[in-house]
Each structure stands twice: as structure tokens, then as C-alpha cells.
Structure 1
Amino acid sequence: MKELQKFAKGYHEEMNWEINKDNYERTRASLLNNYMLLTTEVAEVAEELRKAFNLTNSHISKGKDEKAAFNLAKESIKEDLGKEFADCLAYIIKMANYFEIDLEESFYSKMDEVKNRKNKDVGLVR
């Protein structure tokens, strides 16, 4: 993750896509704009999942068994879904870099926190 963050920092600088740091108002607007772009990309992930479910149902209606139908659907969206995940990751990394957050450290710390919770949800679909 550290390498991704380092790459993204240079890439955003090269493309002139950094969070604006001129003053509070411009920084605020830049952060909000990037957050909105992130939520748009998350919606595009949902759209790819919707495509997979619709394709699965279409294959099932044509006689394929459920598992085979879903595997075909997953394969058909895999490339586009990967691109949408990459877009999401790019915006998350951009904002993390602005706030000087080490995402790798934050990720492992959060996973330890969740693992050690006293009030864990057990058996829920996640």
C-alpha cells in the first residue's frame, strides 16, 4: 500500500489532480469534489454488481444452473469491476495522502480493532 500511495502522489502531481491547498475554501471545495467523485465511483461498483445479478438471472432463465450462471456473470464483469475498484482506490488514496494517513498502517490497525471487539456481529452476511 505504501508503494501505491507513493505512486498515486506522483501521478496526481503529474496530472495536476492534487487536493487544492491554496486556502481553506479551495481546499474544502477540492475535498468535497473528490469525495463526490469517490461516491460516484462507488455507485459504478454497484452498477457492475447489478449487471452481474441480471446476467446471472438471464443465464438461469436459459437453463444454466445457478453456480455456473453466476460464474459466467462474474467473469463478464470482472474487468470493468476492477476498473471501478481502481477508481475508488485512487480517490481514497488521494484523500489519505492529503491528510498524510498511512493507509496500510490504518488498515491493519482497524482490522485488529474489529477483531478484538467485545460486541462482534456473529453469523451476519457481510
Structure 2
Amino acid sequence: MKSLQSFAKGYQKEMNWDIDTSSYERSRASLLNNFMLLTTEVSEVAEELRKVFNLTNKQIADGMNEEEAFKIAMETAQENLGREFADCLAYICKIANFFEVDLESSFYSKMEEVKNRQNKDIRLIHKR
């Protein structure tokens, strides 16, 4: 993740896509704009998932087995999902880099915190 953040920092500088640091108001506007762009990319991930579910349901309606239909739909969406996840990561890295947040150590620290929570979500496993 450190190399990804480093690459993103250099790439954003090369493309002149840095967050504006010339003043508080410009930084604020730039951060809000980048956050808006991030949420747009997240919604594009949701759109790709919707396509997966719609394709799965269409194939099931056409007589295909549910598991096979879902597998084919997931394979169909894999490339587009990868692109949308990459867009999300680019914006997350940009904002994290602005705040000098080490995403890798933050990630592992957060996962350890979640693992040790007393109030964990309980998942029911449905048997068929």
C-alpha cells in the first residue's frame, strides 16, 4: 500500500491533480471536490453491482442455474469493477496523502480493532 500511495502522489503531481494547498479555502474546496469525485466513483461501483444482479436474474429467468448465472455475471463485471475500484483508490490515496495518513498501517490497525470488538455483528448462516 505504501508503494501505491507513493505512486499516486507522483502521478497526481505529474497530472497536476494535487489538492490545492495555497490557502485554507482553496484546500477546503479542493478536498470537498475530491470527496465528491470519490463518492461518484463509489456509486459507479454500485452501478456495476446492479448490472451483476440484473444479469444474474435475467439468466436465471432464462432457465440458467443460479450459481452458474451469478458466476458468469461476476466474470462479466470483473474488468469494469476493477476500473471503478482503481478510481476509488486513486481518490482515497489522494486524500490520505494530503493528510499524510499511512493507509497500510491504518488498515491493519483498524482490522485489529475490529477483530477485538466486543460488540461484533453476528451473521446468520442460512442452510438450504
Q: TM-score, normalised by structure 1?
A: 0.97
**Shift of residue 124 of structure 1?**
5.7
**What SS class does the counterpart of residue 14 from structure 2 fall into?**
helix
**Shift of residue 122 of structure 1?**
1.7
The equivalent of 2:114 in structure 1 is 114
The equivalent of 2:44 in structure 1 is 44
The equivalent of 2:95 in structure 1 is 95
Find the aligned partners of 1:46 and 1:4 in 2 and give their Cα distance: 24
**Shift of residue 104 of structure 1?**
0.2
Find the aligned partners of 1:5 and 1:59 in 2 and give their Cα distance: 40
The equivalent of 1:64 in structure 2 is 64
Find the aligned partners of 2:61 and 2:120 in 1 and give their Cα distance: 39
**Structure 2 unaligned spans of 5+:** none
1:70-81 equivalent positions in 2, closer than 5 A:
70-81=70-81
Query: Runs of at least 4 residues of structure 1 off by over 3 A?
Result: none
RMSD of the alignment, in Å? 1.0
Find the aligned partners of 1:64 and 1:95 in 2 and give their Cα distance: 44
The equivalent of 1:12 in structure 2 is 12
The Cα offsets for residues 28-76 of structure 1, whole Å up to 9 and x where unpaired, read as: 0000000000000000000000000000011111110000000110011
**Aligned sequence identity (%):** 69
The Cα offsets for residues 72-120 of structure 1, whole Å up to 9 and x where unpaired, read as: 1001111001100000000000000000000000000000111111111
Q: TM-score, normalised by structure 2?
A: 0.95
Counting matched residue pairs gives 125
**What SS class does the counterpart of residue 21 from structure 1 fall into?**
coil
Q: Which amino acid aligns with 1:60?
A: I
Find the aligned partners of 1:97 and 1:10 in 2 and give their Cα distance: 11
Q: Which amino acid aligns with 2:68?
A: A
Q: Which amino acid aligns with 2:35?
A: Y
